[in-house]
Structure formats: C-alpha cells, structure tokens
Amino acid sequence: MSLPPFHLAFPVDNLAAARAFYGGVMGCAEGRSSEEWIDFDFHGHQIVAHLAPGKAGDTASNLVDGHGVPVPHFGLVLDMARWEALAERLKAAGTEFVIEPTIRFKGQAGEQATMFLRDPAGNALEFKAFADRGQLFAT
C-alpha cells in the first residue's frame, strides 16, 4: 500500500536549534525556509517547524504498558532495521530519551519496538517498528 505524504506543522522556540536537531541529529533534508519556519523531509513526509515561542511541548501523559507517554506526540513507524539504526544514531548523539528504546507489549498483539524523545523545543516524538508490520492495527 502506498500512502500519501503527510504534512505536519508544529511550534518551536528556536529555529537554529530545530535546524540542528531535525537536520543534524535526525538527518532530515531541509526544504524551503524563512525567518519564521523551516520545512524538513521527514522520511518522505513534510514537517514544518514554525517559530512560536512558548507554544511547544506537551501538556499531559498517558500510561501505556507501564510508561508515561507524552501527549501530544508525533513520529513514524519504521521497519526494524531503520528503527535500530535511528536508535543508534540518537544514542551516539547523546539524546536524552523520555522512554528509552524498548519492546512494548512483548508477546502480545501489537508487539513493537518504541522510543520517545523530545526536540529542543520540548515537542515529543515517537518512533516505532514492528517485527510483523501486520500488527500495526492489531487488537
């Protein structure tokens, strides 16, 4: 199944820090930009960091499989090899994880590798992978 690219605009409080994180640490190619926003290629999807001081970060969390998951958050479902490579890249960059790379729902429907982190503005991101991608919507 081919999915159309999604577009997500989100607030940041410092464009230089966003550029260093999304472009440098995450390896996202930069697209168009201005003094107020930057487009990034987020694995084929368009994300846009908009300068909005004081508006970034989460306001709540929910308990999921024993971990406090930040709400709101966004991210990607990667294949396992890309997830593992990203986890290693983030660890090598000294990333502080909200939830360290781990396996969630082990032995249950929907078993997945997951990790949570924050960008420099405090926005929460989740990256996950499934050994069996058919488990993405398992109940």
Tens of pLDDT, residue by residue over 56-73, are 887 788 989 889 999 999
Place of tokens 């230089």: 16
**How do residues 11-51 score in pLDDT, each as one tens digit?**
999 999 999 999 999 999 999 999 999 999 999 999 999 99
Tokens representing 67 are 């971990």
Same topology for domains 7-51 and 60-135, yes or no? no
Q: How many Cβ atoms are within 10 Å of 32's Cβ, its own excluded?
A: 9
Residues 83-119 have pLDDT tens digits of 999 999 999 999 999 999 999 999 999 999 999 999 9
Q: Where are the domains of the chain?
A: 7-51, 60-135
State the pLDDT at residue 60: 87
Residues in Cβ contact with 4 at an 8 Å cutoff, skipping those fewer than 6 apart: none
pLDDT of 1 reads 62
Residue 82 has pLDDT above 80, yes or no: yes
Measure the CA–CA gap between 58 and 60, rounded to whole angstroms.
6
- Architecture per CATH, domain 60-135, reads as Roll (3.10)
**CATH class of segment(s) 7-51:** alpha beta
pLDDT for the residue 58: 75
